[in-house]
Structure 1
Amino acid sequence: MMVTPIPKTPRVSDRKTFERCKSETCEVDGSPTYGIGPHHIITRGASGPDIPENLIQLCWTCHYVKIPAGKYSQDFLFGVVGRRLRKSGEECRKAVRRAMGYAVT
């Protein structure tokens, strides 16, 4: 029996937006990021889009320790991104859901 591998989708489809959201400091605690790219609040695996409302720059500790441990809620992260974009966290969440194809009122 021949097994056909399933092709992976690219991790980032919009490199320009990704680079625009990149920062040298963590948006949560101000620590240096050492070149780590922005984090998708709604993950790519869950169809999270590459839009500024869904990307947040985190340091190593926030990205690889605190996020997986559930230290920050999505509401909190959308609120942080909202401050950067001068929007409310709810406006950011709605923009992400709209980009994912959901009907948002």
Structure 2
Amino acid sequence: MFKQLLLLLAGLMFGMSASAAGNQYTLGVKGVACPYCAYGVEKRLNKVDGVENVSVDIGDNVVRVTMAEGATLTKAKARTAVDEAGFTLHSFSQAQAKQGKSDEQ
């Protein structure tokens, strides 16, 4: 009984933290070929207001951005940050289905 209660409590805590997370975006970035490149993109995106986390997958040339709750990332802001880092944004989509389709602003 105690184990079931503990598992239920852990599940509720995880569910609450997942629902509190902000909008998530997936960016396709051309030219990210090494950790130094990834660092440059990550550093520039972290300067955008509302960005909580940036994760770069060098092998797939994908950057995942998590925004603070209530904050959004527009395609224009993402393109500017990626351009300023010296790379090219080739795709932009919002990762959480509950938030809607791609932001094409």
How does the TM-score come out when normalised to structure 1? 0.30
Say which one has the larger Rg.
2
Higher relative contact order (CA 8 A, sep 6+): 2
How does the TM-score come out when normalised to structure 2? 0.30
Q: Which has the higher strand share?
A: 2
